[in-house]
C-alpha cells in the first residue's frame, strides 16, 4: 500500500503488487533491500507517483496479504501463468521461482504497448495476445489460452496462476477447468486500508460461515472455485 501523497490528496493509499524484491532477484547484499513496483498511470494517485524523484522517501506498508501458493519443487505438474495488463507484474516473480519447471505463460493486453514482462519468463513458452492484434494472437488472452487448452492433459494436475482485470477473471471462471487443476487467482478490489481493518475490499465466496472475505488480508490470492461472482 503506497502513500502517493503526504497531504491527504489523494486520501487513501493505493495497492500495488511487489514486482521484484531482494529475496527473488537480489541476494541480500545489504540490509536495505530492494523493492520494485511496476505500475500504470490511471488516475490521481498514480499521477502523483510519476512525479516521485530519485532518492525521495516514499511511505509504504507491506508486504501484505497471503501471496501465491507454491507447490513443493520440482513440481511434477505443469505450471500455467495467465496475466492481463499490469496484472502480469505480480506473476513475474513466479516466473523466477518456477524457472526450472514446465511452465507456460500467457500474457494479454489491449495493444503491444500493454504487453509487459515477457522477458521475465523462459522464452519458449510465452504466448502473447493483444486485442488489436499488434503483437501475437489477435484477441483476448483468455481466448488464446482456450485455443491452446487441448494441448494440456485434462487428467493430470496442473497449477494455474492468474492475475488481471476482473473481466478476464470472470471469463476464466466460466470455463470448465478439470477437477485436478488448481486455479489460483490474484484479485483486485478497491481498498480502504490494505491490512484487514476496514472490511472495504471484500469478495463474495462460497464460505457458508462468512460469505465476504477480505481481498487484502484473506487474499489477494483465492482459489477460483471459492469465488461467487455477484
Ligand X SMILES: Cc1cc2nc3c(=O)[nH]c(=O)nc-3n(C[C@H](O)[C@H](O)[C@H](O)COP(=O)(O)OP(=O)(O)OC[C@H]3O[C@@H](n4cnc5c(N)ncnc54)[C@H](O)[C@@H]3O)c2cc1C
Ligand Y SMILES: Cc1cc2nc3c(=O)[nH]c(=O)nc-3n(C[C@H](O)[C@H](O)[C@H](O)COP(=O)(O)O)c2cc1C
Judged by the rule CB under 8 A, the positions of this chain that interact with other proteins are 3, 8-13, 61, 189-193, 195-204, 210-212, 217, 230
8 binds, among other proteins, ligand Y, ligand X, none (CB under 5 to 8 A by kind): other proteins
Least distance in angstroms from the C-beta of 13 to other proteins: 6
Which residue number, 177 or 195, has a Cβ lying nearer to ligand Y?
195
Comparing every residue's Cβ against ligand Y, the nearest one is 198
200 is a contact residue toward ligand Y (CB under 6 A): yes
- Torsion sign (Cα): 162, 90, 16, 200: positive
Encode burial over 154-178: b for 16+ CB neighbours within 10 A, e otherwise.
Answer: eeeebbbbbbbeeebbebbbeeebe
Site string for ligand X, 80-109 (x = CB under 6 A): ------x--xx-------------------
What is the Cα–Cα distance from 53 to 55, expressed in whole angstroms? 6
Distance CA 128, CA 118 (A): 8
Peptide bond connecting 63 to the previous residue in cis, omega within 30 degrees of 0: yes
Select from 98, 129, 220, 224 the one that contacts ligand X (CB under 6 A): 220
Site string for ligand X, 22-61 (x = CB under 6 A): ----------------xxx-xxxxx---------------
d(CA 90, CA 63): 12
Residues numbered 140-199 forming contacts with ligand Y, rule: CB under 6 A: 192, 198
The DSSP secondary-structure symbol of 52 reads P
Amino acid at each position: 500500500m503506497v502513500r502517493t501523497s503526504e497531504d491527504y490528496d489523494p486520501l487513501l493509499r493505493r495497492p500495488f503488487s511487489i514486482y521484484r524484491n531482494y529475496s527473488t532477484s537480489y541476494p541480500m547484499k545489504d540490509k536495505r533491500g530492494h523493492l520494485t513496483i511496476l505500475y500504470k498511470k490511471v488516475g490521481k494517485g498514480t499521477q502523483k507517483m510519476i512525479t516521485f524523484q530519485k532518492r525521495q522517501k516514499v511511505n509504504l506498508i507491506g508486504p501484505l496479504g497471503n501471496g501465491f501458493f507454491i507447490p513443493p519443487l520440482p513440481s511434477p505438474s505443469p505450471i500455467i501463468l495467465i496475466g492481463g495488463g499490469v496484472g502480469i507484474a505480480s506473476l513475474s516473480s513466479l516466473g523466477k521461482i518456477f524457472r526450472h519447471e514446465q511452465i507456460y505463460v500467457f500474457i494479454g493486453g489491449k495493444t503491444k504497448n500493454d504487453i509487459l514482462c515477457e522477458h521475465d519468463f523462459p522464452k519458449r513458452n510465452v504466448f502473447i495476445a493483444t486485442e488489436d492484434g499488434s503483437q501475437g494472437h489477435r484477441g483476448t488472452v483468455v481466448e488464446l489460452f482456450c485455443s491452446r487448452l487441448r494441448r494440456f492433459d485434462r487428467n493430470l494436475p496442473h497449477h494455474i496462476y492468474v492475475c488481471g482485470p476482473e473481466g478476464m477473471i470472470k471469463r476464466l471462471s466460466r470455463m470448465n477447468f478439470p477437477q485436478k487443476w488448481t486455479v489460483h487467482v490474484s484479485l483486485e478490489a478497491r481498498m480502504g486500508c490494505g491490512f484487514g481493518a476496514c472490511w472495504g475490499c471484500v469478495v463474495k465466496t462460497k464460505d457458508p460461515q462468512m460469505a465476504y472475505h477480505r481481498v487484502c488480508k484473506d487474499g489477494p490470492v483465492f482459489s477460483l472455485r471459492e469465488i461467487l461472482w455477484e
